[in-house]
Amino acid sequence: MTELFAELDNPTFRLAVAQFDQAAEIMNLDRNLRQRLKLPQRSLIVTLPIRMDDGSINVFMGYRVQHDSARGPCKGGIRYHPEVNLGEVAALAMWMTWKCALAELPYGGAKGGVRVNPSRLSSGELERLTRRYAAEIFPLIGPDKDIPAPDVGTNAQIMAWMMDTYSQQMGYAVPGVMTGKPRSIGGSLGREEATGRGVVDVTLEAMRHLGLALDTATVAVQGFGNVGAHTARIMREAGMRVMAVSDKEGGLYNERGLDIPELLRRYRLDGHPSLRDTKMGDWITNQELLELNCTVLVPAALSEQITKRNAPRVRCRILAEGANGPTTLEADQILTDKGIFVIPDILANSGGVIVSYFEWVQDAQRFFWTEKNIQDRLHDIITAAFHRTLEFAKSTKTTMRMAALISGIDRVAKAHQVRGLYP
Ligand code: NAD
């Protein structure tokens, strides 16, 4: 397969394909469908020449990959990161397909990215890069075709520039082309915190299932961006003791629990957010954080953080995967052998795409819901997906990850079978 499509070959893509192969084998998936579902349906590579503030021109590489659209328009975030590449974007697009199917959302999977360190760009440079990227991927996207959203390194302002660029080309406002937008242009209440809220919803269900008490539960969160910060805040609001959080420099640790609201205030006040500068706990490395003795560990940064090297030292009771692909295949087996309850990424972090779906529905209807309505519907959908997955895992004696993957893949396979092969 890698000979077929060598451009995609990178560790994250290999991980996504290895997970798919395992699931496909267990479910005895049709051989022809396997070949198709391992590879993206469409991949677009774009070059983005951008005028920098000093007058020079830099060229950046951008990508948009649609993994599968059998069940509906494609959906998936846009990542700005210096290591973005086609294989990583293709892996993330594949996970989006299974994630949407698992939550029973009427979407296929996609992902996009630009190979850039956004913190090195001025606001003007970032806007020009974003608008050029949106213009270059214009043929692929649209509210009925492919709807991007924020991911690592992107935010609501970037979604607003993309929505505006798309709308300028169309000649009228098209709010439904992006989700994760600001409220003033059709964004949804509750979208920003949605992924974190979903992580907490499924963690609480897992704790109930395992008979773990809330008031003695401790939490460590790797990554303090959109997913990590909201997860830490909502875990604390739910009554858990958040002992450690981290960003790319390292982490803060306080055995008695970090004061998350105060930490968020200090972190955001700083123009160059740095956890270390908040001085609110002992300084630890990201590796130390992952190995803390805690009830719940939430990796909420990048992929391949828990590997065969550190997995033997991971000491949590529940691993709730806020990030996409944080656990390698070998590590997964080690965690299973240790009896750690893993809530896999395509389930644990699906709150983001669930509320993105709500945003898209609200934009189509031009009718907006209350925050309570959004939180309640998110809770209903994600906890139902959790229990379906748990029941399936129990009845087939498989892991939560395999149960989630098989459920997602099976829905996509059924859509392909009933639609047939064109031409
Ligand atoms: P973000 O850019 O807002 O935050 C990323 C965080 O990770 C930052 O705090 C950064 O400092 C930290 N980080 C970066 N490199 C690190 C490293 N090597 N070690 C430790 N920390 C590091 O991104 P985000 O939107 O919070 O996304 C985080 C993860 O969650 C990604 O895997 C993303 O694909 C996934 N995810 C995001 C959403 C969403 O709605 N934003 C939805 C589903 C899944």
Residue pLDDT, tens place only, 285-333: 999 999 999 999 999 999 999 999 999 999 999 999 999 999 999 999 9
Mean pLDDT, rounded, for 406-417:
98
Task: Quote the ligand 1 centre to 303 CA distance (angstroms).
Answer: 9
Would you say 374 and 189 are in contact if contact means Cβ atoms under 8 Å apart? Answer: yes
- What pLDDT shows up at residue 268? 81
Would you say 171 and 198 are in contact if contact means Cβ atoms under 8 Å apart? Answer: no
Task: Quote the ligand 1 centre to 172 CA distance (angstroms).
Answer: 33
Residue 273's pLDDT band (boundaries 50, 70, 90)? confident
Q: Which two tokens stand for residue 369?
A: 């819901």
- What pLDDT shows up at residue 206? 98
Work out the percent of the chain whose per-residue pLDDT is above 90: 96
Q: What's the rounded Cα separation, in Å, for the pair 223 and 232? A: 10
Shortest-distance Cα residue to atom 32 of ligand 1: 323
Count CA atoms closer than 13 A to 180's CA, side-chain side. Answer: 27
pLDDT at 2 over 60: no
Q: What's the rounded Cα separation, in Å, for the pair 176 and 413? A: 27
| Nearest ligand 1 atom, CA 324 | 32
Residue 4's pLDDT band (boundaries 50, 70, 90)? low
| Nearest ligand 1 atom, CA 350 | 43
Q: What's the rounded Cα separation, in Å, for the pair 333 and 103? A: 25
| Nearest ligand 1 atom, CA 92 | 34
Query: Is 111 part of the annotated catalytic residue set?
Result: yes
Shortest-distance Cα residue to atom 37 of ligand 1: 151
Q: What's the rounded Cα separation, in Å, for the pair 83 and 135? A: 22
Residue 14's pLDDT band (boundaries 50, 70, 90)? very high
Would you say 252 and 263 are in contact if contact means Cβ atoms under 8 Å apart? Answer: yes
- What pLDDT shows up at residue 3? 61
**Over the stretch 212-265, which tens digit does the pLDDT of each residue have?**
999 999 999 999 999 999 999 999 999 999 999 999 999 999 999 999 999 999
Mean pLDDT, rounded, for 108-121:
98
| Nearest ligand 1 atom, CA 353 | 42
Task: Quote the ligand 1 centre to 182 CA distance (angstroms).
Answer: 20
Q: Which one of 38, 75, 111, 181 is the catalytic residue?
A: 111
Mean pLDDT, rounded, for 355-373:
98
Residue 281's pLDDT band (boundaries 50, 70, 90)? very high
Task: Name the nearest CA neighbour of 16 among 82, 93, 68.
Answer: 93
Q: What's the rounded Cα separation, in Å, for the pair 10 and 313? A: 26
Q: What's the rounded Cα separation, in Å, for the pair 299 and 322? A: 6
Q: Which two tokens stand for residue 350?
A: 């699906």
Task: Name the nearest CA neighbour of 354 among 35, 21, 75, 126.
Answer: 75
- What pLDDT shows up at residue 274? 86
- What pLDDT shows up at residue 7? 86
Read off the pTM. Answer: 0.98
Would you say 181 and 160 are in contact if contact means Cβ atoms under 8 Å apart? Answer: yes
- What pLDDT shows up at residue 270? 66
Task: Quote the ligand 1 centre to 421 CA distance (angstroms).
Answer: 37
231 CB near ligand 1 (under 6 Å): no
Radius of gyration of the chain (CA): 20
Cα 343 to Cα 101, 294, 378, 390, distances in angstroms: 16, 15, 17, 10
Count CA atoms closer than 13 A to 423's CA, side-chain side. Answer: 0
**Over the stretch 324-333, which tens digit does the pLDDT of each residue have?**
999 999 999 9
Q: Which residue has the higher pLDDT, 6 or 378?
A: 378
Residue 271's pLDDT band (boundaries 50, 70, 90)? low
